[in-house]
Amino acid sequence: MPFSLDTTDDARDAQRDVYRRLGGPARVQIVFRLNALVRQTAMAGIRRRHPAYTEGDVIAAYRRLTLGDALVRRVYPDQPLVDP
């Protein structure tokens, strides 16, 4: 597990203990919530950089950002690459 440079050993140990007590289903729920938050943040950044983008453009730009050009071209061969 990578360690944060701004977290003390005691704080890291306490956090690890809390996660262990939560159990698997609660930890999975946290992962899904964090994933959604990161996705929302990335898409907000795309919207900020490209205010004229439609929602479809934002989704296409996010796909390119997360999947890369080669996979986007393979899965969506008829759609242009949209700058993220």
How would you class 60 by CB atoms within 10 Å of its CB: exposed for 0-12, middle for 13-18, buried for 19 or more? buried
**Phi, then psi, of 20 in degrees rounded to 5:** -65, -40
The pLDDT averaged over each successive group of 10 residues in the chain (84 residues) is 77 89 91 96 98 97 97 96 96
What's the pLDDT score for residue 16?
Answer: 87
DSSP 48-73: HH-TT--HHHHHHHHHHHHH-HHHHH
**Cβ atoms of residues 50 and 83 within 8 Å:** yes
Q: State the pTM of this model.
A: 0.76
Supply the pLDDT for residue 2.
Answer: 63
| Whole-number pLDDT of residue 6 | 83
